[in-house]
Amino acid sequence: MSGDALDTLVASLRREGVRITTARRLVLDALVRGTPHPTAEELLSSVRAMAPDVHASTVYRNLDELERLGVVVHTHLGHGPATYHLAADAHGHLVCEACGRALEAPPDLFGQLARGVKRRLGFTLHPYHFAVLGLCAGCAAQTPART
93 and 128 in contact (C-beta within 8 Å)? yes
CATH topology of domain 1-77: Arc Repressor Mutant, subunit A (1.10.10)
Of 37, 115, 123, nearest in space to 83 by CA: 37
* Tens-level pLDDT at each residue, the chain (147 residues): 567 889 999 999 999 999 999 999 999 999 999 888 899 999 999 999 999 999 999 999 999 999 999 999 999 888 889 999 998 887 889 999 999 898 988 878 888 888 999 999 999 988 888 889 999 999 999 977 654
98 and 63 in contact (C-beta within 8 Å)? no
For the chain, which residues make up each domain, given as ranges?
Answer: 1-77, 91-147
Pick the CATH number of 91-147 from 3.40.1190.20, 3.30.10.20, 3.40.630.30, 3.30.1490.190: 3.30.1490.190
